[in-house]
Amino acid sequence: MKLDWRDGNQLLLLENGESFFPAAFEAMAAARSELLIETFILFDDEVGRQLQAAVIAAARRGVQVDLTVDGYGSPDLSPAFIGAMTQAGVRFHIFDPRPRIFGLRTGLLHRLHRKIIAIDGECAFIGGINYAVDQLAESSPYAKQDYAVRIIGPLAQDIQRYVREALAPTRGGLAWRRWRRGAPAAAGQGHGARAAFVTRDNHRHRDDIERCYRTAIRTAREEVLIANAYFFPGFRLLREMRRAARRGVKVQLILQGEPDMGYVRTVARLLYGSLLKDGVAIHEYTRRPLHGKVAVVDGAWSTVGSSNLDPLSLSLNLEANVLIHDRDFALALRARLLDLVAHHCRAIQPEHLPQRTMWRYLVHAIAYHTARHFPSWLSWLPRGQPSIHSFDHRGEVHAAPVAIDGPHVAQERHG
């Protein structure tokens, strides 16, 4: 796996919606020619309407705006909400919408889970923050703790090109070759952060994000600090964590203690015993649901993005992270995470775990190996080709197949 590292980037850590939304909407207001947005969740609430107003204003002043949402994560947007944007000239796309069955959403697997903003090839945002009120930390006790990063500099060109080509007409493997062989981003100015853009898809980049985590942990010398909302990685990633702890690296995990979905903590706790035995420290965040997907290694390497460390993100969904080699940024993120550990986490000790019996050991082993292998089992099942639905200025829907098994969501443009 070859990463295209870019020097000379200016990075800003954004914690929760209180920091992210003002920075993002300010950048959208400054867009001159192109504004590309991908998100898993967009709700018609206070935050969603702010995004709606921002893209409408950009389109009306002549900016080309493409907004893509996931059909599973954003299932209930009304024709009026979408129509207000398309009538102003916004190109609105829904990735693989599926019908409800008995009122329940379907099509959970293989989702567009990326959260990206790309503006004029100069500014980009990546992280785990969706467009919903529950991303505002003070909105309720159930608001999510989350992170994103603003990027100004050469890496923004890579991200812009990637998202633009995700919306290019389907041309078989050509889109992948264009991305890999596209013109490099302009060189930086010799100062600023070094960063790389890494994605996960279901064809040539199936495990790129996981491999980056494994490499960083394998080469760690002092400290590994990971905060991740949905934690159930495969054997190889767990092995690197345990090996690092055994060789004296301080490995700390910040996981959910007050999860937004009850099974999350139950599943993660299947792994606690073996991790604690090898010296990995586990802290459960208890102030509210944790939604972040970030890590810091040795106070120098860090990552921020959309990818959880669970089978959905590591094996099925379309994800995007940024990798950062910059001590100032890494130390800023590390300080914020350690503040959570100091003030809002519960340290897990071996005595907190249920007594291990043969029956419990058997249940844990079956659950672990089922979760570990189920993505590969699912790949054998027949599945229809996903589609993307694009809405034109008349409110009409145009559906086109998408190339989910490449690094891009490819489609035809309409309206």
Given pLDDT bands bounded at 50, 70 and 90, which one contains residue 14? very high
Task: Identify which of 40, 114, 20, 180 has the alpha carbon closest to the alpha carbon of residue 320.
Answer: 114
Which residue did the predictor score with more confidence, 164 or 384? 164
Which of 120, 158, 208, 310 is the catalytic position?
120
> What pLDDT score was predicted for residue 178?
38
Task: Identify which of 239, 344, 336, 372 has the alpha carbon closest to the alpha carbon of residue 287.
Answer: 344
Counting beta carbons within 10 angstroms of the beta carbon of residue 123, is it exposed (0 to 12), middle (13 to 18) or buried (19 or more)? Answer: buried
Whether residue 116 contacts residue 127, with contact meaning beta carbons closer than 8 Å, is answered with no
> What pLDDT score was predicted for residue 175?
36
Mean pLDDT lowest among 99-103, 320-324, 394-398: 394-398
**In the predicted structure, residue 361 carries a pLDDT above the cut 80:** no
Which of 93, 293, 344, 408 is the catalytic position?
293
End-to-end CA distance of the chain: 38
pLDDT tens digits, one per residue of 34-67: 999 999 999 999 999 999 999 999 999 999 999 9
Is 293 tagged catalytic?
A: yes
> What pLDDT score was predicted for residue 278?
96
Is 392 tagged catalytic?
A: no
What per-residue string of b and e applies to 14-39 under the rule 16 or more CB within 10 Å gives b? Answer: bbbbebbbebbbebbeebeebbbbbb
CA distance 215 to 356: 32
Give me the sign of the Cα torsion angle 203, 210, 129, 18.
negative
**In the predicted structure, residue 409 carries a pLDDT above the cut 90:** no
CA distance 217 to 243: 9
Mean pLDDT lowest among 146-150, 313-317, 396-400: 396-400
Is 298 tagged catalytic?
A: yes
Tokens 């990027």 belong to which residue?
A: 151
* CA angle centred on 172, ends 169 and 174, rounded to 5°: 80
Is 113 tagged catalytic?
A: yes
The contacts of residue 227 (CB under 8 Å, 6+ apart) are 147, 253, 254, 255, 285, 290, 292, 293, 294, 295, 337, 340
- Which pTM does this prediction carry? 0.90
How many other CB atoms sit within 10 Å of the CB of residue 171? 12
Q: Do the bridges between strand 397-401 and strand 301-305 make them parallel or antiparallel, or are there none, so unpaired?
A: unpaired
CA distance 22 to 319: 24
Task: Identify which of 108, 83, 25 has the alpha carbon closest to the alpha carbon of residue 386.
Answer: 108
Q: What is the mean pLDDT of the chain?
A: 87
CA distance 181 to 154: 16
Is 4 tagged catalytic?
A: no
**In the predicted structure, residue 92 carries a pLDDT above the cut 80:** yes
Residue 396: half-sphere exposure toward Cβ, Cα within 13 Å: 5
Name all domains of the chain by residue range, CATH numbers in brackets: 6-193+384-401 (3.30.870.10), 208-378 (3.30.870.10)
Which of 93, 110, 113, 283 is the catalytic position?
113
Which of 93, 144, 283, 291 is the catalytic position?
291
Tell me 224's DSSP state: E
Whether residue 329 contacts residue 11, with contact meaning beta carbons closer than 8 Å, is answered with yes
> What pLDDT score was predicted for residue 171?
33
Ranges 95-109, 132-146, 161-175, most confident: 132-146
CA distance 251 to 239: 12
> What pLDDT score was predicted for residue 384?
65
Is 208 tagged catalytic?
A: no
Which of 298, 310, 344, 408 is the catalytic position?
298
Counting beta carbons within 10 angstroms of the beta carbon of residue 148, is it exposed (0 to 12), middle (13 to 18) or buried (19 or more)? Answer: buried
Given pLDDT bands bounded at 50, 70 and 90, which one contains residue 202? confident
Q: 103 — alpha (psi -120 to 50), left (phi > 0) or beta?
A: left
Which of 93, 115, 144, 408 is the catalytic position?
115
